[in-house]
Amino acid sequence: MSQFSDKDVILSVIEFDHSEKAEENRFNIAFGIDKNFLYGCGVAIASILLSNPSLRLEFHVFTDYFSKEDNQRFSALAAQYNTCIKIYLIDCDKLKSLPSTKNWSYATYFRFVIADYFYNKIDKLLYLDADIACKGSIQELVDYTFAEHEIAAVVAERGIDWWTNRSQVLTTPQLVSGYFNAGFLLININEWNRNDISAKAIDMLRIPEWVEKITHLDQDVLNVLLAGKCRFINGKFNTRFSINYELKDDVINPVNDETVFIHYVGPTKPWHEWAAYPVSQSFLNAREHSPWRDVELLKPGNSNQYRYSAKHKFKQKRYIQGIVNYLNYYKLKIAR
């Protein structure tokens, strides 16, 4: 039973279909984003297409904002790679009553809308966060076969200490065997809906006792609901790295030749102009091969970004810019 019906939530669909391949043979990839991630999403799609030129792909972007300029760039991206991109404009009223934080807006719940939307339309869907860059083949995911009653294929986050912590906080003992990051979900659409995952998740997010426990919003909830019903696959499909780790002296970069998706977690993204490190190169390369090549990397827009930008400028030995950004940070802080 779908929690979100098309007519309730989807206001309109914009289709850019330049694919010459039959629709029924395409592998479906979806993103759920707000306006702050449209830039990253466009380049993420370009990175997947660059690394997988022979695959039949179809992209689905669920968002509550889409400007005329966004329309032009996503249309150009579909034409450039002879692919299909569909944009779904969402009515967010049902989602705005759910818990949110400064790091997670109501857009984090779009993945529930997405999983419900595709029920009875397709069998398998790859959901990705938009702050990723692809640098390898996804053929393994295209060929992936779900086991009986398996709802999703996921990638474990951190290690046993974190899994134990989550199992205790979320009173779900099975999480000792693994806790996943919800920025990568290969979803068995029929099994997801057979288990009413979206409806159960929304119900949990409205129970005060659960809201007190969760710190990672829908990710915590999904880990509880999918415990024992998902398969953990190779970490190369969701290699997490925060660009802010570059500020440490002993940073260990987990990205290697095997990595398929780099997931840029944390507040600094590769489309920020202070993210000038080798780990951003996969994103920057895809940007150069996309309609966003002439869009400048973003400058700081709030006090938090000025603070991080200043720290990174000092790390990069660009001291004058660092001082200027610190001054802007303090100026904005005083003005609050």
- For residue 306 the two structure tokens come to 């000025």
Place of tokens 């000038």: 276
E-strand ranges in 69-192 read 84-90, 124-128, 132-134, 152-154, 184-188
Closest CA to 155 of 72, 233, 44, 223: 233
Place of tokens 């912590």: 165
pTM of the model: 0.94
Taking the C-alpha atoms of residue 8 and residue 112, their distance in angstroms, rounded to an integer, is 13
- Category of 317 on φ-ψ map: left (φ > 0), alpha (ψ -120 to 50) or beta: left
In order along its 336 residues, the chain shows pLDDT tens digits of: 455 555 678 999 999 999 987 777 899 999 999 999 999 999 999 999 999 999 999 999 999 999 999 999 999 999 999 999 999 999 887 667 666 655 556 676 788 889 999 999 999 999 999 999 999 999 999 999 999 999 999 999 988 998 999 899 888 889 989 999 999 999 999 999 999 999 898 888 888 888 888 888 788 999 999 999 999 999 999 999 999 999 998 888 899 999 999 999 999 999 999 999 999 999 999 999 999 999 999 999 999 999 999 999 999 999 999 999 999 999 988 877
Closest CA to 260 of 124, 129, 128, 138: 138
Question: What is the CATH T-level fold of the domain 6-237, as seen in this structure?
Answer: Spore Coat Polysaccharide Biosynthesis Protein SpsA; Chain A (3.90.550)
Q: What is the DSSP string of 48-96?
A: HHHH-TTS-EEEEEEES---HHHHHHHHHHHHHTT-EEEEEEE--TTTT
Q: How many CB atoms lie within 10 A of CB 305?
A: 20
Distances in whole angstroms, Cα of residue 178 to Cα of each of 50, 127, 238: 32, 19, 15
**Contact indicator for 240, 158 with CB cutoff of 8 Å:** no
Closest CA to 291 of 25, 61, 49, 103: 49
- For residue 33 the two structure tokens come to 């984003």
**Domain spans of the chain?**
6-237, 301-336
Taking the C-alpha atoms of residue 297 and residue 154, their distance in angstroms, rounded to an integer, is 31
Distance of CA 271 to the CA centre of its chain: 14
